[in-house]
């Protein structure tokens, strides 16, 4: 299995696993990514053009996520909690694993690779969110070392999300 930046020629396979992910969330009763509010081909193309798109690949793309540096306006309005730092950070968005392969630790591998990549980029602060009913993703996020920090709300239907942070205090070399 290879972790690498996504390429434009990966788009068809990425969109296929996103479609499967949308269907899987629907079967779980989650409103996340439903009714046309899931990742679009245009967003994925933009992620690739910006160098923010990453994939896990075997013979084909089996997982996708975007790693976006800079201030996320949604994250500035955190409620019922706070971020543990206000330094520069990266956000992980649009995480999807081929639903035919769930239960194989692929989401965990993807997050671990994204954490390492973030640190190689010079970031000790990494943020991610998921819908409150997406308990599978919550477990993966927490197992990767992220800590629940509060709630954020995207300006879309059912945009409420639980926000998590992975922060390494570089002076003490400890995970907060």
Instruction: Report pLDDT digits (tens) over 27-69.
Output: 999 999 999 999 999 999 999 999 999 999 999 999 999 999 9
Average pLDDT over residues 88-113: 96
CATH of the domain at 82: 3.40.630.30
101-149: pLDDT as tens digits: 988 999 999 999 999 999 999 999 999 999 999 999 999 999 999 999 9
pLDDT given for residue 175 in this prediction: 60
> What is the distance, to the nearest Å, from the Cα of residue 75 to the centroid of all Cα atoms in its chain?
14
pLDDT given for residue 122 in this prediction: 94
Judged by DSSP in three states, 164 sits in strand
| The model's pTM | 0.93
Q: Model confidence at 170, in pLDDT bands (50, 70, 90)?
A: low
pLDDT given for residue 50 in this prediction: 98
Instruction: Write out the residue range of the structural domain in which residue 68 sits.
Output: 2-175
Contacts of 59 (CB under 8 A, 6+ apart): none
Domains: count for the chain? 1
147-162: pLDDT as tens digits: 999 999 999 999 999 9
Signed CA dihedral, 68, 110, 7, 124: sign only: positive
Closest CA to 95 of 17, 1, 162, 148: 17
Average pLDDT over residues 165-176: 68
Asked if residue 9 has pLDDT above 60, the reply is yes
Q: Model confidence at 168, in pLDDT bands (50, 70, 90)?
A: confident
Contacts of 68 (CB under 8 A, 6+ apart): 47, 50, 52, 90, 91, 92, 93
Q: Can you list the alpha helix ranges (DSSP code H) found in 40-160?
A: 41-49, 106-120, 135-143
pLDDT given for residue 34 in this prediction: 95
Q: Please name every residue paired with 57 in a beta bridge, in sequence order, or none if there are none.
A: 2, 61
Question: From CA 91, how far away is CA 110, in angstroms rounded?
Answer: 14
């Amino acid at each position: 299995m290879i972790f690498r930046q996504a390429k434009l020629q990966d788009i068809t396979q990425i969109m296929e696993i996103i479609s499967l992910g949308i269907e899987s969330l629907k079967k779980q009763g989650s409103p996340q990514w439903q009714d046309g509010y899931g990742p679009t081909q245009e967003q994925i193309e933009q992620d690739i053009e910006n160098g923010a798109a990453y994939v896990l690949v075997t013979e084909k793309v089996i997982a996708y996520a975007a790693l976006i540096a800079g201030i996320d306006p949604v994250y500035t309005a955190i409620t019922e909690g706070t971020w543990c730092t206000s330094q520069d950070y990266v956000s992980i968005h649009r995480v999807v694993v081929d639903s035919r392969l769930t239960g194989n630790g692929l989401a965990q591998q993807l997050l671990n690779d994204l954490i390492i990549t973030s640190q190689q980029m010079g970031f000790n602060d990494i943020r991610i969110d998921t819908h409150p009913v997406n308990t599978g993703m919550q477990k993966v996020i927490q197992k990767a070392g992220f800590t629940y920090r509060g709630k954020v709300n995207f300006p879309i239907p059912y945009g409420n999300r639980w926000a998590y942070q992975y922060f390494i205090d570089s002076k003490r070399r400890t995970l907060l």
